[in-house]
Structure 1
Amino acid sequence: MRAAVLEEYEEPLAIRDVERPTPDPDGVVARVDACGVCRSDWHGWVGNWEWFDYKPPRGHILGHEPSGTVIEVGEEVESVSEGDEVAIPFNFACGHCHECRVGYENLCENHLGLGFQEGAPGAFAEEVPIPHADINAVPLPDGVDQVEVAGMGCRYMTAYRGMAHQADVSRGEYVVVYGLGGIGLSAVQIADALGANVIGVDLMEEKLDLAEELGAIATVDGADVDDPVNEVQDITDGGAHVSLDALGIEETCKNAINSLRTRGRHVQIGLTTKEQHGYNPLPTDTIVMNEIEINGSSGLPPSKYGEMFRMVEHGKLDPGAVITDEIGLDGVSEELEAMTDYQTVGIPVVSEFA
């Protein structure tokens, strides 16, 4: 089968034929119908994240935002059949550990990172194996488009969990989103659907415009103002109720927290690079004196997909609006290169693999 293989960090992926996968007894193989190209793929492509065992080895297939159709089923699988169209989470759960048993499959103690870790070859390929398929292959409801689901595979679902679960965004609250890449733009749309008043902050005019199309009541161009925190404080009359750092650099993390009012809730989704090696300084005194709550958000438990899909089915969420490009497998390296300078807008999705 055809796949995009990481042979050298920061070099174009090698498009070549590799051996097709076979299912484990409790797994399936899916034909990949679409796969998003995410900034997390960029992190893997440049060789980040060794500090939490997510640095993909050379020779690995990247790609962790797929949707697909089941084409081969292991003999122990009970709930998935050949021909099922499925969503595929990026953090494969075991289904048996404590976290899985209490509904936090996204935090599985034995998880495998799709496209990042040994044993979980990614989905920039014509086919992808899915272990523990009864939990990791989530049947799609009627009318949910495969390309849209690929866009939901990491960024959208993580933003959904961050806004709906971790921050518990309420009607009428102010939400500020720092960094309007795929995660940030998804969060804008989701927070708006939950009834919030959303402000987007970025340096790129095209991203700011798209944020307004997706529901932001206001945007702040960080390149045009002296202090985006002051701008957010003015717009929100004293600070946002919820902030999100979708980028993971020191400046956006600090500014997002400083943009909150007292008892505000911060959500961290952006992850760090080699320069930070997993750590960002925080405005500790502000956190203490204003009783700021800080939450992480990593994926979405498959058991919670239903609530997100129902919002899509009934038109309250539109993940397709965040998808800006459909590309072939040959175009993945170009998208990764563009992410180095934050030049991609929205979510590009691979929809042609042959």
Structure 2
Amino acid sequence: MRAVVFEEFGREARVREVPDPVPAPQGVVVRVEATGLCRSDWHGWMGHDEGIALPHVPGHELAGVVEAVGAEVVGPRPGDRVTVPFVCACGRCGACASGAQQVCERQTQPGFTHWGSFAEYVALEHADVNLVAVPEELSFATAAGLGCRFATAFRAVVGQGRVAPGEWVAVHGCGGLGLSAVMIAVAAGARVVAVDVSAAALDLAKAFGAAACVDAVAHPEGADAAVRELTGGGAHLSLDALGSPVTCTASVRSLRRRGRHVQVGLLPRAAGAPVVPMARVIALELEILGSHGMAAHAYPPMMDLVRSGTLRPDLLITSTIGLAEAPAALAAMGGAVGAGVTIIEPGRTRRGALGG
């Protein structure tokens, strides 16, 4: 199969032919029809994540068709249209037994713990626990985002954040994850303040229903003061959807009394540790929460909203590229990131079936 491969961290990846994956006894191989380009992929390429073995194929946000199944798989069958959470759970540990598969003790993550979806095919573990059916009316490009950015934002806003109608929600960082959070919070009846350094990203946030936008560049003293002024004292719920020391601190400082901060953007060690204003956390009785993806069993309510048109993840897609363009696009994620989401469509250029 063709895949995007890098052999050194931070050095340009290239498309080349590599051996076809084979399914584990409880796993499947999926023919990748669409896969999202995410800043997390860039962090992995740069070497900011532990445990990535070289050479490596990135990509963790995918949708496609089951091509082959392991001998012990019960449910999924070849031909099924599927997506998968970026955290693939084992289904047997204590966290999984409690329903918290998103923090599985033995989790695997395509594109990080093993080769990912910037390829024609990808192997996925524990298929009966992790695969999510994609309805026929949903395009693969739209469904790809449900494996990471959109599902992650949904749980961060609705599950961990406990958003309520009429509340003020601040979203710091309006990339794919942040714009998803904006759309979801607006659909829940909240009033959203979007914060970013990109005018194009803020324009999209406004198009998705943000009540106000804050250009962080125009507030070098901190965007949090602007958020507090716009919301009459601070947000009820604030999310760091980027993952940086600056946005994490600003998110916490954006809150009103008894507000809730959700850290959903990953914080790579290379950026340093954020300074959380704990004195403010104590004085205002703030809540500090983490959010890490969403378990496969929790998808139905989100899927229902997508199928009904209440949520429109398709509107987040602003660029579609082929596999050959992916290496350059991956490297460019370290600079000024364009607004919206880029989808990679690997295509089928070599043969009609795996191993055929």
| Length-normalised TM-score, structure 1 | 0.95
Q: Matched residues in 2 for 1:65 and 1:184: separation?
A: 16
Amino acid across the alignment from 1:192: V
Name stretches of at least 5 consecutive residues in structure 1 with no aligned partner: none
Q: Check conservation: 2:27, 2:73, Cα contact below 8 A.
A: yes
Amino acid across the alignment from 1:241: H
User: Who is 2:124 aligned against?
Assistant: 130
Matched, 1:240 2:235: yes
Amino acid across the alignment from 1:287: V
Give 1:251 deviation, angstroms: 1.4
Q: Check conservation: 1:323, 1:348, Cα contact below 8 A.
A: yes
Q: Matched residues in 1 for 2:330 and 2:267: separation?
A: 17
After superposition, what is the alpha-carbon deviation per residue over 1:72-119, rounded to whole angstroms, capped at 9, x for unaligned? Answer: 1222111111110001221111111111122111111110121111xx
User: Who is 2:2 aligned against?
Assistant: 2
Q: Check conservation: 1:326, 1:348, Cα contact below 8 A.
A: yes
Q: Matched residues in 2 for 1:225 and 1:72: separation?
A: 53
Which of 147, 150, 156 lines up with 1:153 in the alignment? 147
Q: How many residues align?
A: 347
Q: % of aligned pairs identical?
A: 43
User: Who is 2:45 aligned against?
Assistant: 45
Give 1:274 deviation, angstroms: 4.0
After superposition, what is the alpha-carbon deviation per residue over 1:262-294, rounded to whole angstroms, capped at 9, x for unaligned? Answer: 0000010122234345x2111010001101101
Q: Check conservation: 1:5, 1:14, Cα contact below 8 A.
A: yes
Amino acid across the alignment from 1:102: S
Amino acid across the alignment from 1:58: L
User: Who is 1:269 aligned against?
Assistant: 264
| RMSD of aligned Cα (Å) | 1.3
Q: Check conservation: 2:237, 2:261, Cα contact below 8 A.
A: yes
Name stretches of at least 5 consecutive residues in structure 2 with no aligned partner: 350-356
Q: Check conservation: 2:182, 2:205, Cα contact below 8 A.
A: yes
Q: Check conservation: 1:327, 1:351, Cα contact below 8 A.
A: yes
Q: Check conservation: 1:155, 1:182, Cα contact below 8 A.
A: yes
User: Who is 2:223 aligned against?
Assistant: 228
Q: Check conservation: 1:68, 1:87, Cα contact below 8 A.
A: yes
Give 1:152 deviation, angstroms: 2.2
Q: Matched residues in 1 for 2:337 and 2:271: separation?
A: 21
| Length-normalised TM-score, structure 2 | 0.94
Q: Check conservation: 1:335, 1:344, Cα contact below 8 A.
A: no
Give 1:145 deviation, angstroms: 1.7
Amino acid across the alignment from 1:8: E
Which of 111, 114, 122 lines up with 2:110 in the alignment? 114
Give 1:338 deviation, angstroms: 2.2
Counterpart secondary structure, 1:324: strand
Amino acid across the alignment from 2:223: P
The 5-angstrom pairing of residues 130-279 of structure 1 reads 130-226=124-220, 227-277=222-272, 279=273
Q: Which runs of 4+ in 1 moved over 4 A?
A: none
Counterpart secondary structure, 1:195: coil
Counterpart secondary structure, 2:65: strand
Q: Check conservation: 1:181, 1:207, Cα contact below 8 A.
A: yes
Give 1:334 deviation, angstroms: 2.1
